[in-house]
Structure 1
Amino acid sequence: MRHIWKSFRSLYFAALMMLIGSGLLSTYLALRLAADNVDSLWVGALMAANYFGLAVGGKVGHRLIGRVGHIRAYATCAGIVGAAVLGHGMTDWLPAWVGLRMIVGLGMMCQYMVIESWLNEQADAKQRGAVFSGYMIASYLGLVLGQLILVVHPQLGLELLMLVAMCFALCLVPVAMTRRIHPAPLRPAPMDPRFFIKRVPQSLSTVLGAGLIVGAFYGLAPLYASSQGLSTEQIGLFMGSCIFAGLVVQWPLGWLSDRYDRAVLIRSVAGGLAVVALPLAIFPSVPLELLFGMGFLISLLQFGLYPLAVAFSNDHVESERRVSLTAMLLVTYGVGASIGPLAAGVLMKLFGEQMLYAFFSFFALVLVWRIRPQAVTGLHQVDDAPLSHVAMPAASSPLSAALDPRVDEQTVQDVMQAPVAAEDTEEEEQPEEIEQAGDEQVSRS
C-alpha cells in the first residue's frame, strides 16, 4: 500500500485539495446566506446548480480533453473554477451566484475526469482496487477537512473564499509538474438509457433517491444546523462528522454487501433511514448531543445507498457494459442531486427547517416501497455475482468505472483508448446486440 501511495501521491494530493475547496465552499455559501436571512430556496438552488454543472461537465470534459489534452484541460478548468470562486466575493446578486456555482461544478467534473483517467492509466490491473481505495480516502478526507476549516476560522468573511481559491490553485501544481506522458485519448462512454431502465430499474431508483437525499444534505444541512442555534465552529464539526460517517460506513457496508442479498440490504438501509430521520423531522429543536448523534447515524445510512445500488446493478450487467452503466448511474444521481436541494429548500421555506429530515424520511420510504427483492428474477445475473463490493469515492466522473477492479481490463482499454472522432457517430456505430438486448425479457434488478 505504501508503494501505491508513493506512486500516486501527486494525484491524490490534487484530489484532496479539490475536495477541501469544494466542501468548504458549499458550507460557506449556505452559512453566508443563512446569516443574511436568505430563503432556503436560494441555498437549494446553489447546490442544484453545482450538481447540474457536474452533470453537464461530463460531456464538456470529453470534448475539452480531446481538443487540448489532459494537462491543459485540467489547468484551464482549475483556473476557471478559481476565478468563479472569487467571483462570489465580487457580487451579492444571487442569480450570479447560481451561475458561478454551475461553472464550479462543470469545471470540477473535467478535473475529476483528468485525475481518474490518469489514475487508471498508471495503475496496474492488479492494483486498481487499491488505487481506487486511495482515491476514495483522499476524496472523503478532503470533504471533512473542508468542514473543519470552519472550526479554525469561523468568521464568514472573504478570507474563506480566498482559501477555497487557494485550494484550487494548489491542486494545479502536482498535475502541471508531472513528467509522465498524457493518458490515452478519451471518448464518452455510450449510454442506452432504455436498456438500463429495463435491466436495472431498482438500482436506478435507488441512485435517484440517493441523489435527492445527499444533494439536499450537502446544500441544506448547514442551514438546518444554523437554525438549531449552532455556531459556525459547531456547524463545521457537525458537517465534518456527518461526512466522516460516509467514509466509516464503506468497509462494514462492503462486508455486508458481499454476504447478503443486496436488494434486501438496500431496502433495510432505506427503512432504517426513514425511521432514524423521523425525530429530527418531527421536533423543531433537539439537544446538541442528540443532533450530533442522530446526524452521524443518519449519514451512515444515507451514504450507504449509492454504493449498494452500484454493486447491485453491476451484478446484472455484463462487464463490457459497466463503464456505460457507471455513466448512466452518475447522470441519474446528478438529476436527483439537482432536484433534491430545490425541493427540500421549498419545503423548508414553507414549513420550517426540520423539513429537511422529513424530506429524507419520505424519500427513504419511497425506496422501501420501490425496492422489491422478490421481483429480482436473476435472469441476467452475471456468472460470478455477487461481485465484490467496491467502496465509492465522495465524488467521481463517468470514468470512475475504469478504476473499478470488477470491470474487465479489455473493456477499460477500449473505452479509454477509443478515438475522440468516434464521438459524433457514436449512436450509429454501437453494436446491434445493444438494441436487441433492450428488447429481451429482462430482470428487475
Structure 2
Amino acid sequence: MLVHLLPLAALLSGVALLLLGSGLLTTLLAVRGGIEGFGSPFMGLLGSMFFAGFLIGTHVAPRMIRRVGHVRAFAFFTSAVACAVLLHEMLVVPWVWALVRLLTGISMVGLYTIVESWLNSQSAPAQRARVFSVYMGVNLGALALSQQLLHLGPASGHVLFGLAALLVSAAVMPVAATRLNQPLLDHSASVDLKSLYAKAPIALSAAFASGLAMGAFWGLGAVWADGHGIGHQGIAAFMTATILGGALFQWPIGLMSDRMDRGRAIALVSLGATLCAIGLMLAGSRGTLALSLAGFVYGGFAFSLYPMAVARMIDRLQPHEVLSGSSSLLLIHGAGAAAGPLLAGFAMALAGDAALPLWFAATQGALAIAASSLLRRLTPDIAHQTRFQPMVRTASTAFDMVEGAHPDDLPSTRPSTETR
C-alpha cells in the first residue's frame, strides 16, 4: 500500500497543509467574530457564504482548471485562499468578511477538484478505494489537528491569521514540485433532481438533511461552544472531539449499514443523531469535558449520514448513472449546507444558544421520520448493496475513487430501479 502512495505523497501533503490552514481559519473566525461583537445571524451568514461559494465553484473552478492546467490553477486558488485569510484580519468589516468567505468557498472546491482528479488519474483501478480512504483520513485528520492550533496565539492578534495564511501558502510547494502528469478534467452531466428523487428518495433526503445540520455545525459550532464560556482551549477541544468522533464512528456505522437495509440504517442513525443533539444541549452547561464527550458522540452519528446517503445512491442507481448522479447529490447537500448556517444563526438570535443543538435535532429528526415513511413503499436493497465508504463532502471528482461508483465495481445482476 505504501508503495502505491509514495508517488501521491506530494498531493496528500498539499491537502494536509491546506486543510490545516483552512480548518484553523473556520474556528478562528467564530472566536474572533465573538470578540468583535458579531452576532450569531452574521456568523451564520458567513457559513452560508462559504457553502454558497462551494456551489458557485462547482461550475466556475473546472473552467479555470481546463484553461490553465492543474498546477497553475492550484497556485491560483491557494493564493486566493491565503489572501482571503489575511483580509479577514486586515479589514474587520462584516461585508468584507462575507465576500472573502464566498471567495474562499469558490477556491476550496477548485482545490478539491484539482487534487481529487489528480489522485484518481494516478491510481490504478484496483487501488482507488484504498487511495480514497487515505485521502479521507488526511482530510479528517488535518481538520481535527487544525483546531489545536488555536493554542498558539490569541484570536484578537495577528499570529493565528498569519499561521493560517502560511499553511495555505505552503500547500503550493509540494504540489508545484510534483512530477506527476497532469490529468484531463472530464465534463460530467448530472441526473436531474426529480429523476434522482424518484430512484433514491432516501439518499436525496439524507444528503439535504446532512447539509442543513453539518453546514450549521461548521458555521456555528465554535460560536455555540464559545457562548458557554469554555475559552479557546475548550473550543478547540470540542471541535476536535466532534471531528474525531465523525471520523472514527464511520467504520462501525458503515459496517452496520452494510449488513442491513441501508435505508433502515439511515433512519436509525438519524434518530441516534437526534438523541445525541439533545444530549449536546444538556451538556452545554457542564464544562469542557462534558461538551467534548457529547460532541464526540454526536459527531459520530452526524458525520456518518452523508456517506450513507452516497452509498444509498449507489445502491439505487444503475451503474452508468452513478457518477452523474453524484453531481445532483452534491448540489442538494450544498444547498442544505448554504441554508443551514443562516437559518440556525437566526434561530440562535431568537432563542439563544440552545437553538443550535435543537436545529440539529430538528433536521435529523425530520430525516428519521422521512426515511421511515419512505421505507414503507420501497423494497429492501440489501441483496445488492455496495460497501460503505467513509468520507466527508468535498467535490464531485471524489466519486471517481469511491468503490462502487464504476460499472466494473458493481454486481452485473443488479435489478433495475424501475422495478423497485
Q: 1:127 and 2:127 equivalent?
A: yes
Is 2:283–2:291's contact at 8 Å kept on the other side of the alignment? no
**Unaligned regions of 5+ residues in structure 2, if any?**
410-415
Between 151-160 and 218-227, report the one with greater CA deviation: 151-160
- CA apart distance, 1:151: 2.6
Aligned AA (2:396):
P
**Unaligned regions of 5+ residues in structure 1, if any?**
412-436
Between 328-337 and 147-156, report the one with greater CA deviation: 147-156
The structure 2 residue matched to 1:397, chosen from 376, 395, 398, is 395
- CA apart distance, 1:405: 2.3
Q: Distance in 2 between matches of 1:409 and 1:118?
A: 21
- CA apart distance, 1:261: 1.4
Aligned AA (2:402):
D
Q: Deviations over 1:238-278 (max 9, x none)?
A: 10111111110121122112111111111111111212222
Please give the residue correspondences for 1:84-103 in structure 2 after superposition, counting only pairs within 5 Å. Answer: 84-103=84-103
Please give the residue correspondences for 1:39-54 in structure 2 after superposition, counting only pairs within 5 Å. Answer: 39-54=39-54
- CA apart distance, 1:116: 0.4
| SS of 1:406 mapped into structure 2 | coil
- CA apart distance, 1:386: 0.6
Q: Distance in 2 between matches of 1:398 and 1:305?
A: 17
Call closer, same or farther: CA 1:211–1:185 in 2, change over 3 Å: closer
Between 153-162 and 200-209, report the one with greater CA deviation: 153-162
* Other-structure match for 1:219: 219
Between 349-358 and 149-158, report the one with greater CA deviation: 149-158
| SS of 1:391 mapped into structure 2 | coil
- CA apart distance, 1:5: 3.0
Is 2:319–2:407's contact at 8 Å kept on the other side of the alignment? no
Aligned AA (2:328):
M
* Other-structure match for 1:314: 314
Q: Deviations over 1:285-340 (max 9, x none)?
A: 23333222111111111111111111111101111111112111111111111111
Please give the residue correspondences for 1:250-399 in structure 2 after superposition, counting only pairs within 5 Å. Answer: 250-281=250-281, 285-372=285-372, 373-377=375-379, 385-392=384-391, 394-399=392-397
Is 1:28–1:156's contact at 8 Å kept on the other side of the alignment? no
Give aligned-pair identity as a percent.
Answer: 32
Q: Deviations over 1:203-225 (max 9, x none)?
A: 11111000111111111111111
Over the aligned positions, Cα root-mean-square deviation in angstroms equals 1.9
| SS of 1:104 mapped into structure 2 | helix
- CA apart distance, 1:172: 0.7
Call closer, same or farther: CA 1:120–1:303 in 2, change over 3 Å: same
- CA apart distance, 1:387: 0.6
- CA apart distance, 1:152: 3.5
Q: Distance in 2 between matches of 1:101 and 1:107?
A: 10
- CA apart distance, 1:191: 3.4
- CA apart distance, 1:375: 2.2
Aligned AA (2:227):
S
Please give the residue correspondences for 1:163-182 in structure 2 after superposition, counting only pairs within 5 Å. Answer: 163-182=163-182
Between 177-186 and 280-289, report the one with greater CA deviation: 280-289
* Other-structure match for 1:30: 30
Q: Distance in 1 between matches of 2:154 and 2:6?
A: 34
Call closer, same or farther: CA 1:126–1:298 in 2, change over 3 Å: same
How many equivalent residue pairs? 412
Q: Distance in 1 between matches of 2:185 and 2:339?
A: 33
Aligned AA (2:224):
Y
Q: Distance in 2 between matches of 1:185 and 1:215?
A: 28
Is 1:276–1:294's contact at 8 Å kept on the other side of the alignment? yes
| SS of 2:89 mapped into structure 1 | coil
| SS of 1:376 mapped into structure 2 | coil
Is 2:48–2:215's contact at 8 Å kept on the other side of the alignment? yes
Q: Distance in 2 between matches of 1:253 and 1:279?
A: 19
Is 2:203–2:313's contact at 8 Å kept on the other side of the alignment? yes
* Other-structure match for 2:206: 206
Q: Distance in 2 between matches of 1:102 and 1:193?
A: 25
Is 2:258–2:386's contact at 8 Å kept on the other side of the alignment? yes
Is 1:212–1:340's contact at 8 Å kept on the other side of the alignment? yes
Aligned AA (1:45):
L
Q: Deviations over 1:13-43 (max 9, x none)?
A: 1111111111111100011111222210111
Q: Distance in 2 between matches of 1:288 and 1:76?
A: 40
Q: Distance in 1 between matches of 2:72 and 2:187?
A: 17
Q: Distance in 1 between matches of 2:40 and 2:167?
A: 27
Q: Distance in 2 between matches of 1:330 and 1:51?
A: 11
Is 1:66–1:185's contact at 8 Å kept on the other side of the alignment? yes
Is 2:77–2:111's contact at 8 Å kept on the other side of the alignment? yes
Is 1:125–1:405's contact at 8 Å kept on the other side of the alignment? no
Q: Distance in 2 between matches of 1:328 and 1:172?
A: 30
Aligned AA (1:401):
F
Is 1:65–1:186's contact at 8 Å kept on the other side of the alignment? no
- CA apart distance, 1:284: 6.2
Call closer, same or farther: CA 1:102–1:261 in 2, change over 3 Å: same
